[in-house]
Amino acid sequence: MEAFSDGVLAIIITIMVLEFKVPEGHDWHALVGLGPKILSYIFSFVYIGIYWNNHHHLLHMVRTMNGRLMWLNLLLLFWLSLVPFTTAWMGESQFAATPTALYGIILMVAAFSYWLLQRAILKQHSGDSSFVVTMGKDWKGKLSPLFYLTAVLTAYVSPWLSGVFFVLVAVIWFVPDQRIERALGSR
Amino acid sequence: MEAFSDGVLAIIITIMVLEFKVPEGHDWHALVGLGPKILSYIFSFVYIGIYWNNHHHLLHMVRTMNGRLMWLNLLLLFWLSLVPFTTAWMGESQFAATPTALYGIILMVAAFSYWLLQRAILKQHSGDSSFVVTMGKDWKGKLSPLFYLTAVLTAYVSPWLSGVFFVLVAVIWFVPDQRIERALGSR
Amino acid sequence: MEAFSDGVLAIIITIMVLEFKVPEGHDWHALVGLGPKILSYIFSFVYIGIYWNNHHHLLHMVRTMNGRLMWLNLLLLFWLSLVPFTTAWMGESQFAATPTALYGIILMVAAFSYWLLQRAILKQHSGDSSFVVTMGKDWKGKLSPLFYLTAVLTAYVSPWLSGVFFVLVAVIWFVPDQRIERALGSR
Amino acid sequence: MEAFSDGVLAIIITIMVLEFKVPEGHDWHALVGLGPKILSYIFSFVYIGIYWNNHHHLLHMVRTMNGRLMWLNLLLLFWLSLVPFTTAWMGESQFAATPTALYGIILMVAAFSYWLLQRAILKQHSGDSSFVVTMGKDWKGKLSPLFYLTAVLTAYVSPWLSGVFFVLVAVIWFVPDQRIERALGSR
């Protein structure tokens, strides 16, 4: 499951670049229009990078693979597979309200799918109290959808405000999941 | 063989997204035209997901790899590699009769290729009666092509009817192949 | 090296499908124009499939990886990476003389690169006479470039003649490399 | 981390081919316009090939994976993911000054990211003096950005001059990192 998921994430992160069409002109001015697209790409690159890393850690926690986990994993990949589209639309529209809101919605639903997957994996460790306790707090997992929701709503006020909340989510996840690292280390 | 197959399936599932062109407008209304395309994508995402999972289980049953198995596997991948095209056509045509029928035909032929591959792998277990018995029933494998065929024929009556049969196939395969899981578990 | 090569081959085989643009119409007639493209795709799918399989076998023969092998491998992948382009051109031109000839030329050069890679790997087995003897005959490896060359030349007479020789190459490679399988089995 | 990075590099190297649009005509003359694009592609294929190989060697040196390494790795992949775009622009512009300069800039920044990653991994070997000594010299790693910088500047004089420096970088890296191979061998 890891190889397939890694493959899908690697493809998602790379095909977003196909959206950068070769500009008409041959001078620096020709690149100006690309600005919002590149900013949009940077956001998505960081998010997919974060998912890849945490997802990787998470799958190592799986004790027994079953159909339920597999479908929850596919559900997460489904939402993430829509990120290249929402990234392109948000960039192309120069961060217009609706594309920015949709961008946030897809990330919010993906975050929720991740949380479902995590919860299903946590259940396999229900006896291991120390593990559940460290994971259970999970302030990152709870804060992210809230930040995404705020970004979705503020998109109609100002895309800059949305941008602030998108950056905030990236910042809190920037450091990979030390809870798991610690839990693993303490065994 | 598994790494290559997983790679091909991961790419197939992801490049379908390239079909979602960035819409002209920047409001929710601009997304309306995408409806049939997204529905079409969801179908294919689920089918490829099902194939990936069952294929994965199946390849673990292989005792000795040989040229015959390799070519049967490539035959299956060939038909599945056409799914992004049929998905795009069906979505773009808003489920018109012929694109929907072609979509079903390719899936039907893929299902038949899967059955050929499965049969070839089963032969390697001909001595292991309990395994053959559990696998031999294989009502899913027999029902799927029948449902696909019905979907192909009903496409000319109503695309909705085809949709019902497409959903039915997804539903019966939704749970990964417990026959194999059970057979493996009982050893 | 194997994972990277497998990845590149998996992507090559799959992105060729992106060349099948969604047709304008929604009936069977709309597919007529796709005929040469699909035939062209089938050829390439089979060739890349053959390369993937034999390449896989070949890399298992490597005793010590070094820079020379790595660059010979990249050279092979370079020529194969041009196959989606030549496939698209040949199909789109409905097997016109020059695109068909170029298609054959790229395959011929790829076959030559494969032969260089094989020879370099063979050198690592120079003490193992039985292995070298079985591999040394290599009539497939010697016949393929000859057939490709003939296909290139006959492209200017008739694309059908070229097609015959393309099919011939596929046929002789259809069975995976039993020489290596035998050599490995006899150990 | 290696599987994901290998996947991203494999995709980057392969999607560049999508830039070769099928030409209008069906004779050799129709290919003339592709010249600069293919030259541009050859450069990038070689660079990504070099990165893949050295990156591969480098990751084997990692003692303990942590968030810092992961983000430095993603930073490198980010810059390399822009290579298909700069390759297409440089080729399409027939090596005009600005696209050629941008091509060099992205490679320069990627080389710098690689150096940061290498330095972070070197720190994990700070006790192992012989390793640090052999790696520490690293004339390739220091010369490359200098050559890229020169290529960026000379792009405004003559693209041919830039080309010379691009070739020079490829030449010095052509042989995979023997320092590491030697350091590993001497253990």
Q: Within an 8 Å CB–CB cutoff, is residue D12 touching chain C?
A: no
pLDDT tens sequence across C149-176: 999 999 999 988 999 999 998 888 776 5
Q: Determine, for residues C17 and B84 on separate chains, whether the beta-carbon distance falls below 8 Å.
A: yes
Q: How confident is the model at residue C140 (pLDDT cuts 50, 70, 90)?
A: confident
| pLDDT for C26 beyond 70 | yes
Q: Determine, for residues A49 and D15 on separate chains, whether the beta-carbon distance falls below 8 Å.
A: no
* Per-residue model confidence (pLDDT) at position D184: 53
> Which of B119, B108, B175, B117 has the alpha carbon at shortest distance from B143?
B108
Which of C2, C5, C17 is the best mutation test for B, with the most CBs of B within 10 A? C17
Nearest-CA residue of chain C relative to B96? C26
Q: Tens place of pLDDT for every residue, chain D, 187 residues?
A: 778 888 899 999 999 988 888 888 888 988 988 889 999 999 999 999 988 888 888 888 888 878 788 889 999 999 999 999 999 999 999 999 999 999 999 999 999 999 999 989 888 887 665 655 555 567 777 888 889 999 999 999 998 899 999 999 888 877 655 555 555 554 3
Nearest-CA residue of chain C relative to D178? C67
Mean pLDDT on A4-12: 91
* Per-residue model confidence (pLDDT) at position A73: 93
Q: Within an 8 Å CB–CB cutoff, is residue D71 touching chain A?
A: yes
Q: Determine, for residues B22 and A96 on separate chains, whether the beta-carbon distance falls below 8 Å.
A: no
Q: Determine, for residues A4 and B14 on separate chains, whether the beta-carbon distance falls below 8 Å.
A: no
* Per-residue model confidence (pLDDT) at position B82: 96
Q: Within an 8 Å CB–CB cutoff, is residue B18 touching chain A?
A: yes
Give pTM, 2 decimals.
Answer: 0.89
> Which of D131, D147, D130 has the alpha carbon at shortest distance from D139?
D147
Q: Within an 8 Å CB–CB cutoff, is residue B85 touching chain C?
A: yes
Residue C45 half-sphere exposure, CB side, CA atoms within 13 Å?
A: 22
Q: Determine, for residues A15 and B10 on separate chains, whether the beta-carbon distance falls below 8 Å.
A: no
User: A67 to chain B: which residues are within 8 Å by CB?
Assistant: 53, 174-176, 178
User: D97 to chain A: which residues are within 8 Å by CB?
Assistant: 26
Mean pLDDT on B3-30: 89
Q: Within an 8 Å CB–CB cutoff, is residue D79 touching chain C?
A: no
Q: Scanning the structure block, which residue is given the tokens 């996840």?
A: A173
* Per-residue model confidence (pLDDT) at position B57: 81
Q: Determine, for residues C45 and B85 on separate chains, whether the beta-carbon distance falls below 8 Å.
A: no
Domain limits at A40? 2-185
* Per-residue model confidence (pLDDT) at position D9: 93
Neighbouring chains of B at 3+ CB pairs under 8 Å are A, C
**D173 Cβ contact partners less than 8 Å away, ≥ 6 residues apart:** D50, D54, D140, D144
| pLDDT for B182 beyond 80 | no
Q: Determine, for residues B13 and A18 on separate chains, whether the beta-carbon distance falls below 8 Å.
A: no
User: D28 to chain C: which residues are within 8 Å by CB?
Assistant: 98
User: D55 to chain C: which residues are within 8 Å by CB?
Assistant: none
**Mean per-residue pLDDT of chain C:** 85
Nearest to D85 among A11, A17, A176 (CB): A17
User: D3 to chain A: which residues are within 8 Å by CB?
Assistant: 3, 6
| Domain count within chain C | 1
| pLDDT for B106 beyond 60 | yes
- C-alpha D106/C-alpha D152 separation (Å) is 10
Three-state SS string over chain C comes to: CHHHHHHHHHHHHHHHHHHCCCCCCCCHHHHHHHHHHHHHHHHHHHHHHHHHHHHHHHHCCCCCCCHHHHHHHHHHHHHHHCHHHHHHHHHHCCCCHHHHHHHHHHHHHHHHHHHHHHHHHHHCCCCCHHHHHHHHHCHHHHHHHHHHHHHHHHCCCCHHHHHHHHHHHHHHHHCCCHHHHHHHHCC
What letter would DSSP give residue D155? T
Q: Within an 8 Å CB–CB cutoff, is residue A156 touching chain B?
A: no
Q: Within an 8 Å CB–CB cutoff, is residue B78 touching chain C?
A: yes
Size of interface A-B (CB pairs under 8 A): 65
Q: How confident is the model at residue B132 (pLDDT cuts 50, 70, 90)?
A: low
> Which of A60, A47, A162 has the alpha carbon at shortest distance from A109?
A47
Q: Within an 8 Å CB–CB cutoff, is residue B7 touching chain A?
A: yes
What letter would DSSP give residue B25? S
Give CA D75 to chain center in angstroms: 13
Q: Within an 8 Å CB–CB cutoff, is residue D23 touching chain C?
A: yes
* Per-residue model confidence (pLDDT) at position B130: 60
* Per-residue model confidence (pLDDT) at position D131: 58
Neighbouring chains of D at 3+ CB pairs under 8 Å are A, C
Mean pLDDT on C135-140: 67
B54 compared with A82, residue with greater pLDDT: A82
Highest mean pLDDT among A45-54, A92-101, B45-54: A92-101
Whether residue A86 contacts residue A106, with contact meaning beta carbons closer than 8 Å, is answered with yes
pLDDT tens sequence across C61-108: 888 878 788 889 999 999 999 999 999 999 999 999 999 999 999 999
User: D14 to chain C: which residues are within 8 Å by CB?
Assistant: 8, 11-12, 15, 81
| pLDDT for A43 beyond 70 | yes
Span of A87-91, B58-62, B87-91, C125-129 with lowest mean pLDDT? C125-129
| pLDDT for B107 beyond 60 | yes
**Mean per-residue pLDDT of chain B:** 85
A63 compared with D181, residue with greater pLDDT: A63
Please identify among residues 101-120 of chain D the ones whose CB lies closer than 8 Å to any CB of chain A.
102
Task: Tell whether the torsion through CA atoms of D18, C103, D38 and A30 is positive or negative.
Answer: negative
Nearest to D74 among A20, A49, A178 (CB): A49
* Per-residue model confidence (pLDDT) at position B184: 53
User: C28 to chain B: which residues are within 8 Å by CB?
Assistant: 98
Q: What is the ipTM of this complex?
A: 0.86
* Per-residue model confidence (pLDDT) at position D128: 65
* Per-residue model confidence (pLDDT) at position A136: 55
Q: Quick one: D76 exposed, middle or buried, by C-beta within 10 A (0-12, 13-18, 19+)?
A: buried
* Per-residue model confidence (pLDDT) at position C186: 45
Q: Determine, for residues C67 and D175 on separate chains, whether the beta-carbon distance falls below 8 Å.
A: yes
pLDDT tens sequence across A99-141: 999 999 999 999 999 999 998 988 888 766 565 555 556 777 7
